């Protein structure tokens, strides 16, 4: 595909980080193989659910922005790109914004689910990170968010995209957000490193209770060996401790002497990766980050939150844990008139309902 549209041009057009599984590559391959000849229309999973529920076919804008087929900052699909790739225009449905009402739930669906009254179906920020960012209780433009679970997304909310060559080379993506905002973010490794390590230890007969393990890790020496948390060798399932030890040996570092020290090293390596991404955001946006909001499952990990604050050098505001669900509900609630206001007003509701915890900077660490 890059022989038709080079990576530099593609980034200027769609603003997306290069990932081999992006929808645009999948569809270009499918079209070349003739697999789309009999296709009537393409619906992403959330839009498919909306069609089943209401009979209306649409493409919700935040999720559509991740396909690589939407002109970055534009109002419609990139029809010139579709033509050059041999993709039919009518393959893609019309776009709607988060908060649009698709219509009432169809009678057949209402009967199947036992819904006795009319129920309107509202589109949300159906890309999970788009909903999660709605649930982040940000109050200042100089804030970044980290959505941390199995993997992490580190980003800022911007009024317009950044499609410079520096941004492309740094691995940042520009995805649609609710109310026309831009999610300028980077994929970073997450707690997959820890969960896969625990799985390996338990498989070897070493049962580990996570709460106790994290407490011991917090008491371990701070000067632990660290590694590149984003190393590609850590992506696949398998024996994570062995792969991490191999990285440490290859870079000339010592291997941790105990499991708690190993865990602290994993979390410090994640904090280092977060700090690097935050520095990139500062450089690419010309800003100066003052607060990090950490949401998702990682918000429950006090050691990770504290290490992130110390390594980035700014306070970390942790929570809510279920930011994606909360952001989804807030957009629906606004559509149905239960709450009102802009994103900041919705975030104030989230902050009141799920008060976050702040981790102040204690000791600056390397990052």
Q: What amino acid positions are annotated as catalytic residues?
A: 128
The two tokens of residue 168 are 């492309």
Pairing of strands 291-295, 143-148: parallel
| Structure letter (DSSP) for residue 169 | H
Helix, strand, or coil (residue 59): strand
For residue 320, the Cα-to-chain-centroid distance in whole angstroms is 15
d(CA 234, CA 237): 8
Spatial contact of 312 and 274, defined as CB atoms under 8 Å apart? yes
- Type and span of the H or E element at 176: strand 173-176
What DSSP line would sit under 219-286, residue for residue?
HS-S------TT-GGGSSSS-HHHHHHHHHHHTTPPPPSSHHHHHHHHHHHHHHHHHHHHHHHHHHHT
For residue 65, the Cα-to-chain-centroid distance in whole angstroms is 13
- The residues facing 291 across adjacent strands are 143
Q: Give me the helix-helix angle, 192-203 and 240-250, nearest 10°.
A: 110
Pairing of strands 59-60, 95-96: parallel
d(CA 320, CA 293): 9
- Say how many Å lie between the first and final Cα of the chain, rounded: 37
For residue 314, give the nearest of 271, 352, 348, 283 by alpha carbon.
271
For residue 62, give the nearest of 157, 181, 143, 158 by alpha carbon.
181
d(CA 69, CA 78): 6
The two tokens of residue 106 are 């169809």
């Amino acid at each position: 595909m890059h022989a038709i549209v080079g990576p530099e041009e593609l980034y200027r057009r769609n603003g997306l980080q290069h990932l081999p599984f992006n929808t645009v590559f999948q569809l270009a391959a499918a079209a070349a193989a003739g697999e789309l000849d009999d296709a009537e229309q393409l619906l992403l999973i959330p839009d498919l659910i909306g069609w089943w529920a209401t009979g209306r076919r649409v493409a919700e804008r935040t999720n559509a922005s991740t396909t690589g087929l939407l002109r970055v900052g534009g109002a419609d699909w990139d029809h010139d790109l579709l033509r050059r790739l041999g993709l039919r225009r009518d393959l893609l449905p019309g776009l709607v914004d988060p908060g649009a009402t698709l219509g009432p739930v169809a009678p057949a669906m209402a009967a199947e689910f036992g819904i006795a009254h009319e129920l309107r179906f509202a589109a949300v920020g159906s890309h999970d990170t788009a909903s999660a960012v709605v649930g982040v209780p940000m109050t200042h433009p100089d804030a970044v968010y980290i959505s941390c679970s199995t993997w992490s997304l580190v980003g800022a909310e911007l009024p317009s995209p950044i499609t410079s060559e520096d941004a492309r080379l740094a691995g940042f993506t520009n995805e649609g957000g609710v109310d026309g905002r831009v999610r300028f973010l980077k994929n970073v490794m997450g707690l997959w490193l820890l969960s896969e390590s625990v799985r390996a230890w338990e498989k070897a007969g070493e049962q580990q209770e996570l709460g106790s393990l994290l407490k011991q890790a917090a008491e371990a020496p701070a000067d632990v060996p660290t590694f590149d948390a984003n190393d590609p060798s850590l992506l696949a399932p398998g024996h994570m401790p062995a792969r991490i030890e191999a990285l440490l040996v290859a870079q000339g570092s010592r291997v941790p002497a105990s499991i708690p020290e190993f865990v602290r090293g994993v979390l410090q390596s994640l904090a280092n990766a977060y700090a690097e991404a935050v520095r990139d955001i500062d450089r690419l946006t010309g800003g100066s980050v003052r607060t990090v909001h950490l949401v998702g499952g990682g918000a429950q990990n006090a050691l990770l939150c504290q290490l992130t604050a110390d390594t980035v050098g700014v306070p970390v505001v942790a929570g809510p844990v279920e930011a994606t669900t909360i952001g989804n509900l807030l957009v629906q609630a606004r559509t149905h008139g239960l709450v009102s206001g802009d994103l900041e007003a919705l975030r104030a509701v989230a902050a009141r309902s799920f008060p976050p915890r702040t981790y102040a900077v204690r000791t600056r660490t390397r990052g």
